[in-house]
């Protein structure tokens, strides 16, 4: 089992080192590869991106991403290549269209509803006279102390 | 009486959520359908372990079973290897080709696997993983059934059985070649 | 024999818990103290029996009793002593025993603390606590029995999940579960308040401290989880928005909201309904979390098994939600939105906004977590909702929360005058703006990073201003400076504990910003003696060494790290466990205040001539751990009993 694995390496390395790739159409930086790979879900792990996963499959996918970018494909085209093969599932954040808009707008809707409720309540509450009965119950000693401290402050 | 009757809607609001979670029991999060089914099979040109070239395009007109495996995939790949070999022997004269694609593996271990099971159908390593990604595989074993016109018609995840292969292959063989 | 004893103990405990829950309720209805006393004894019995269960399971682990299926699956003869103890809660069945034991422990403490002080609520609190205990005991006896036998008895076990062989495995689940189970206490009090109709302040005062205790442990659990993810999983991150992380984060968010809105109710007798709803929501989310991680409905890193257990949890979640929300609806009229505010510009408003943001964040995380299920149910398409989504939608909410963190504690209650605003905020705002200019000039051009850092400085300035003023007041009254500061922390421990927590959050925010914005990485294959460079560091591959450990085989690379002068040798490794198909990465790192050097070993040539290594320079990650320490220290300060305020 461990031997098998070491062998994988030898094989992969042999291929990587011997098979001189065709000259790339353009130079692609590590961060460009990372950016595309970060959008893709690693298929053998759970909830890790292809960029982050330490698995062999993810490493091979990063190589594929790099080669496609070097061949002149745009990041969107590279992502589409993976979607065509794995389905939308492979995208770590759902595309902003159709049904998926629901999940994208949910946070906004939550904040909007929350703010609306607060606005209505605050309006209603500020119209009522704030009765003295709701003043926090402080013992006289504490009240005295606050007075002293605030005076000392001035 | 009906005053503030709406307040009883509060507990009821939890029901759709609970229903959704109950629905969750019916689905398997690890089972993702392939978008490739019904589409032309991605072509590949590999070199088999016995050094002969192995291309998909050359197989047009035959029913092709592409099986992704690895020698470290125990026990599923070990269970299905004899099944594949049996099917290959049964169907090879009826225009069916079985191709094994070995992924994320070592040449020595893979060749030992082939020897141990006496596999006689063509097997090739996919050292860069390009073919396995082209087919959208998640792991091993996974098997694709390609019809005579070169389209993927079915995908099977996990170990194959005689019945699964027979069902798919017979169906594809029954279709006219054109 | 031992397993049968454990099983028997669980069954008796289940019976006792059921009786206790019933007896306490009857006692409350009929006003017969003898029944409540009986329930109390039943609770003590449950605690003793669950303790016995836990001890017996631990004994089975220590003696390698492979006739117990759970032991055989989660240990083998090579498992070191330490992990045979933590292995007890390394998987589903044992984790539920630990959970139940903690719940029983909390019940015990509730009995000790509140049997005299909360006469009206107490019997019902007991009923709810024992009811929840009964559910978990039902899981232990029926759905996931940890003492189930295995025939035939194997010669050796399968072994613990290698990822769990880490020292964090003792602290992480223990802290997290103490947090989760601790949230049962506020829930029990809220239920008791709704049942008895005493929805006033009594239940709130009693549960506030309990909530801080649970919150403290939950925070600790989350932080240790992040640290585990960072140094064990080998992907260089600390938070992946995995469903299991979200499961712990959602109740944390709503509990945080509760800890803030509690203050409004204490001051203004408002928001009773809302506070009850928050407590119910929080408890519901802890159950939802356990359901998520144990049902297999949503794929997650925690590969807990599937089975009937999911149905059990869903059933209980249904029961809890319908009962609790039903009670809320029943008491609706008593909870009517009474109260009045003096001004829109006040601390009350700031806290309301804080609640909106926190609950919106919890909702966002919740909706994102279940969205894949929704998409599949309604549209038949499997989608993923992962880190890029959660980061994008939560960042604005968290920035808003940080801003409110600066405003809330200093703006006046009731009505903030222009003078109050100027006195408290002019300085900090100017400091924040200056900080923005400073960071920009320093070369920070990411708008998000500048904004976060400026906000952080603004909030830190408000805290510093408040603390300096209060200290000055005391110093003027003749106290020396340091005792004045100490006295301030101790006397107003709730307020300043809160400030320290806020400071911790700020430090974490800096760490998150830094690690997201400025971390760099590269992945290369090096021959022996070759080196690669990244961000001023040079890493040279020296050699590979293989070693046989007690339960695995390890291949470690030696890499010399230097930045001009040699900093040390890092040895990332791959561990090969016989029971695992793929090797486990073992990262090595050098932590620093400014940046961590983080090495992950990839593939290697068998003869040791070549190795692939992933080199990361992760910026400011240590700030997250430091901030975590500060945050938990602050929470600890806030838990301390309040001192008598005599002038």
Chain C from 274 to 333: CB within 8 A of any A CB? 299-301, 303
Q: Are A94 and C389 in contact (CB under 8 A)?
A: yes
The pLDDT of residue C226 is above 60: yes
Over residues B6-34, mean pLDDT? 85
Chain A residues near residue B34 by CB distance under 8 angstroms: 85-87
Token pair recorded at residue C595: 């940046």
Contact B139 A63 (CB under 8 A): no
Taking the C-alpha atoms of residue C28 and residue A7, their distance in angstroms, rounded to an integer, is 71
Is B137 strand, coil or helix? coil
Nearest to C97 by CA among C10, C159, C172: C10
The owner of tokens 């109740």 is C251
Over residues C280-300, mean pLDDT? 83
The pLDDT of residue B15 is above 50: yes
Token pair recorded at residue B125: 């390593």
Rounded to the nearest integer, the mean pLDDT of chain C is: 90
**Residue C100 half-sphere exposure toward CB, CA atoms < 13 A:** 34
**Residue C213 half-sphere exposure toward CB, CA atoms < 13 A:** 18
Q: Which fold would CATH assign to domain C520-622? A: Tick-borne Encephalitis virus Glycoprotein; domain 1 (2.60.98)
- Model pLDDT for residues C514-563, shown as the tens digit of each residue: 999 899 988 899 999 999 999 999 999 999 999 998 888 999 999 999 99
CA C60 to chain A, closest CA, distance in angstroms equals 30
pLDDT of residue B43: 93
Does domain B36-174 bear CATH number 3.40.50.1220? Answer: no
Q: Are A32 and A75 in contact (CB under 8 A)?
A: yes
Contact A46 C301 (CB under 8 A): yes
Taking the C-alpha atoms of residue C93 and residue C67, their distance in angstroms, rounded to an integer, is 16
Strand partners, C598: C589, C616
**Residue C118 half-sphere exposure toward CB, CA atoms < 13 A:** 26
Chain B residues near residue C377 by CB distance under 8 angstroms: 20, 23
Taking the C-alpha atoms of residue C449 and residue C439, their distance in angstroms, rounded to an integer, is 9
The pLDDT of residue C335 is above 60: yes
CA C25 to chain centre: 32
Residues 6+ apart with CB under 8 A from C210: C182, C185, C186, C189
Taking the C-alpha atoms of residue C584 and residue C641, their distance in angstroms, rounded to an integer, is 46
Token pair recorded at residue C554: 């390890």
Kindly calculate the radius of gyration of chain A based on its CA atoms and give it in whole angstroms: 30
Residue A11 forms contact with B (CB below 8 Å): yes
Cross-chain CB nearest to B32 (options C296, C377, C382): C382
> Could you say which DSSP state residue A133 is in?
G
Contact A125 C340 (CB under 8 A): yes
The pLDDT-based confidence of A130 (bands split at 50, 70, 90) is low
- Model pLDDT for residues B79-127, shown as the tens digit of each residue: 999 999 999 999 999 999 999 999 988 888 999 999 999 999 999 999 9
Over residues B157-168, mean pLDDT? 93
Q: Are B138 and B152 in contact (CB under 8 A)?
A: no
Q: How many residues does chain C have?
A: 647
The pLDDT of residue C463 is above 50: yes
pLDDT of residue A6: 42
Residue C377 forms contact with A (CB below 8 Å): no
- Model pLDDT for residues C100-125, shown as the tens digit of each residue: 999 999 999 999 998 888 778 999 99
CA C373 to chain B, closest CA, distance in angstroms equals 7
Taking the C-alpha atoms of residue B168 and residue B162, their distance in angstroms, rounded to an integer, is 10
The owner of tokens 């004994």 is C59
How far the first Cα of chain A sits from its last, in Å, is: 77
Nearest to A103 by CA among B15, C357, C392: C392
Name the residue ranges covered by the structural domains of chain C.
Answer: 1-165, 199-336+346-386, 387-518+624-639, 520-622
Find the closest chain C residue to A8 by CA distance. C603
Helix (H) or strand (E) holding C201: none
The pLDDT of residue C305 is above 60: no
Q: What is the CATH number of domain A2-90?
A: 1.10.8.640
Contact C297 B73 (CB under 8 A): no
The pLDDT of residue C43 is above 90: yes
Find the closest chain B residue to C369 by CA distance. B21
Contact A85 B136 (CB under 8 A): yes
Cross-chain CB nearest to A87 (options B33, B109, B132): B33
Chain B residues near residue A7 by CB distance under 8 angstroms: 105-109
Contact A10 B139 (CB under 8 A): no
Q: Are B140 and B37 in contact (CB under 8 A)?
A: no
Q: Exposed, middle or buried by CB within 10 Å (0-12, 13-18, 19+), for B52?
A: exposed
Helical axes C184-196 vs C168-182, angle rounded to 10°: 10
Q: Are C56 and C9 in contact (CB under 8 A)?
A: yes
Residue A102 forms contact with B (CB below 8 Å): no
Chain B from 51 to 70: CB within 8 A of any C CB? none
Nearest to C341 by CA among A120, A86, B108: A120
Taking the C-alpha atoms of residue B93 and residue C150, their distance in angstroms, rounded to an integer, is 48
Helix (H) or strand (E) holding C351: helix C347-379
Alpha-carbon dihedral angle through residues C52, C55, C57, C62, given to the nearest 10 degrees: -160
pLDDT of residue B112: 94
Residues of C with CB under 8 A from a CB of B: 291, 295-299, 310-311, 314, 317-318, 321-322, 325-326, 328-329, 332-333, 370, 372-374, 376-377, 382, 581-582
Helix residue ranges, H only, C115-201: 122-138, 168-182, 184-196
Token pair recorded at residue C3: 């397993």
Contact B11 C329 (CB under 8 A): yes
Over residues C385-399, mean pLDDT? 94
- 3-class SS string, C415-473: CCCHHHHHHHHHHHHHHHHHHHHHHHHCCCCCHHHHHHHHHHHHHHHHHHHHHHHHHHH
pLDDT of residue A1: 36
Residues 6+ apart with CB under 8 A from A100: A94, C375, C383
pLDDT of residue C643: 61
- Model pLDDT for residues B124-148, shown as the tens digit of each residue: 999 999 999 999 998 889 999 999 9
Contact B32 A87 (CB under 8 A): yes
Over residues C341-346, mean pLDDT? 82
Over residues C259-285, mean pLDDT? 91
Chain A residues near residue B35 by CB distance under 8 angstroms: 83-87
CB pairs under 8 A between A and B: 74
pLDDT of residue C528: 94
Over residues C413-425, mean pLDDT? 85
Contact C473 A89 (CB under 8 A): no
Contact B109 A3 (CB under 8 A): yes
The pLDDT of residue C645 is above 60: no
The pLDDT-based confidence of C616 (bands split at 50, 70, 90) is very high
Q: How many CB atoms lie within 10 A of CB C598?
A: 25
């Amino acid at each position: 089992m461990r031997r098998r694995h070491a062998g994988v390496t030898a094989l992969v390395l042999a291929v990587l080192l011997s098979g001189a790739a065709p000259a790339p159409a353009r130079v692609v930086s590590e961060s460009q590869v990372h950016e595309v790979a970060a959008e893709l879900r690693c298929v053998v792990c759970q909830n890790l991106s292809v960029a982050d996963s330490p698995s062999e499959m993810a490493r091979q996918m990063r190589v594929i991403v790099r080669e496609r970018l070097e061949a002149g494909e745009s990041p969107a085209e590279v992502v589409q290549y993976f979607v065509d093969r794995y389905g939308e599932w492979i995208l770590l954040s759902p595309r902003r269209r159709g049904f998926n808009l629901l999940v994208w707008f949910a946070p906004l809707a939550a904040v909007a509803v929350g703010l609306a409720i607060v606005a209505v309540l605050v309006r209603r509450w500020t119209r009522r006279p704030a009765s003295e009965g709701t003043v926090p119950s402080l013992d006289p000693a504490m009240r005295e102390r606050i007075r002293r401290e605030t005076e000392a402050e001035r | 009486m009906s005053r503030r009757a709406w307040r009883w809607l509060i507990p009821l609001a939890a029901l759709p959520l609970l229903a959704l979670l109950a629905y969750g029991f019916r689905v398997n999060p690890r089972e993702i359908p392939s978008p490739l089914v019904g589409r032309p099979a991605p072509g590949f040109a590999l070199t088999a372990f016995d050094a002969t070239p192995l291309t998909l395009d050359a197989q047009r007109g035959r029913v092709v079973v592409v099986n992704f495996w690895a020698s470290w995939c125990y026990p599923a790949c070990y269970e299905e290897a004899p099944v594949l070999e049996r099917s290959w022997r049964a169907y090879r004269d009826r225009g069916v080709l079985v191709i094994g694609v070995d992924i994320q593996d070592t040449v020595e271990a893979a060749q030992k696997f082939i020897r141990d099971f006496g596999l006689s159908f063509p097997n090739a390593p996919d050292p860069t993983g390009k073919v396995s990604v082209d087919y959208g595989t998640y792991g091993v074993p996974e098997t694709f059934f390609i019809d005579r016109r070169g389209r993927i018609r079915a995908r099977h995840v996990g170990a194959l059985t005689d019945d699964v292969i027979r069902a798919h292959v017979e169906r594809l063989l029954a279709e006219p070649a054109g | 024999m031992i397993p049968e004893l454990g099983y028997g103990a669980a069954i008796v405990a289940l019976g006792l818990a059921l009786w206790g829950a019933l007896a306490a309720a009857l006692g409350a209805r009929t006003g017969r103290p003898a029944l409540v006393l009986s329930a109390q004894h039943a609770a003590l019995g449950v605690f003793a029996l669950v303790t016995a269960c836990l001890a017996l399971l631990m004994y089975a682990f220590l003696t390698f009793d492979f006739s117990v299926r759970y032991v055989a699956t989660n240990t083998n003869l090579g498992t070191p002593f330490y992990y045979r103890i933590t292995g007890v809660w390394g998987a589903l069945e044992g984790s539920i025993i630990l959970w139940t034991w903690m719940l029983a422990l909390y019940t015990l403490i509730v009995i000790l603390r509140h049997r005299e002080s909360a006469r009206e609520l107490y019997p019902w609190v007991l009923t709810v606590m024992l009811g929840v205990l009964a559910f978990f005991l039902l899981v232990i006896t029926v759905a996931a029995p940890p003492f189930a036998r295995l025939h035939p008895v194997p010669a050796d076990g399968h072994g613990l999940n290698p990822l769990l062989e880490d020292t964090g495995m003792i602290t992480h689940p223990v802290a997290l579960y103490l947090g989760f189970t601790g949230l049962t206490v506020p829930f029990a009090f809220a239920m008791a308040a709704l049942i008895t109709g005493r929805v006033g302040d009594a239940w709130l005062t009693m549960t506030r401290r309990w909530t801080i205790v649970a919150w403290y442990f939950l925070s600790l659990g989350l932080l240790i989880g992040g640290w585990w993810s960072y140094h064990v999983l080998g992907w260089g991150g600390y938070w992946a928005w995995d469903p299991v992380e979200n499961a712990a984060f959602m109740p944390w968010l709503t509990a945080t909201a509760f800890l803030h809105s509690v203050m409004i109710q204490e001051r203004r007798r408002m928001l009773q309904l809302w506070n009850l709803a928050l407590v119910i929501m929080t408890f519901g989310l802890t159950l939802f979390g356990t359901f998520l991680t144990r049902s297999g409905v949503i794929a997650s890193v925690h590969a807990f098994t599937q089975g009937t257990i999911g149905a059990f949890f869903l059933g209980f979640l249904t029961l809890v939600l319908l009962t609790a929300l039903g009670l809320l609806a029943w008491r609706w009229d008593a909870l009517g939105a009474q109260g009045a505010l003096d001004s829109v510009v006040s601390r009350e408003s700031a806290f309301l906004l804080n609640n909106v943001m926190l609950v919106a964040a919890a909702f966002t995380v919740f909706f994102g977590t279940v969205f894949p299920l929704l998409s599949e149910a309604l549209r038949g398409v499997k989608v993923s909702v992962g880190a890029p989504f959660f980061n994008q939608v939560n960042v604005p909410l968290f920035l808003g929360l940080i801003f409110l963190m600066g405003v809330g504690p200093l703006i006046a209650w009731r009505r903030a005058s222009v003078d109050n605003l100027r006195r408290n905020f002019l300085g900090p705002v100017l400091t924040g703006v200056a900080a923005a200019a400073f960071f920009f000039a320093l070369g920070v051009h990411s708008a998000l990073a500048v904004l976060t850092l400026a906000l952080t400085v603004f909030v830190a300035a408000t805290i510093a201003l408040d603390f300096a003023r209060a200290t000055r007041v005391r110093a003027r009254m003749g106290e020396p400076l340091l005792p004045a500061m100490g006295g301030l922390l101790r006397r107003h421990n709730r307020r300043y504990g809160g400030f320290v927590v806020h400071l911790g959050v700020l430090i974490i925010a800096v760490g998150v910003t830094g690690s997201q914005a400025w971390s760099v990485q590269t992945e290369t294959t090096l021959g022996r003696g070759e080196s690669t460079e990244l961000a001023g560091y040079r890493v040279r591959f020296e050699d590979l060494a293989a070693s046989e450990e007690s339960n695995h085989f390890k291949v470690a690379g030696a890499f010399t790290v230097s930045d001009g002068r040699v900093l040390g040798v890092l040895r990332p490794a791959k561990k090969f466990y016989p029971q695992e198909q793929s090797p486990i990465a073992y990262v090595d790192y050098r932590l620093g205040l400014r940046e961590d050097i983080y090495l992950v070993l990839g593939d290697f040539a068998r003869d040791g001539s070549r190795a692939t290594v992933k080199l990361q320079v992760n910026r400011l990650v240590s700030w997250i751990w430091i901030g975590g320490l500060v945050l938990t220290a602050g929470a600890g300060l806030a838990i301390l009993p309040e001192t008598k305020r005599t002038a």
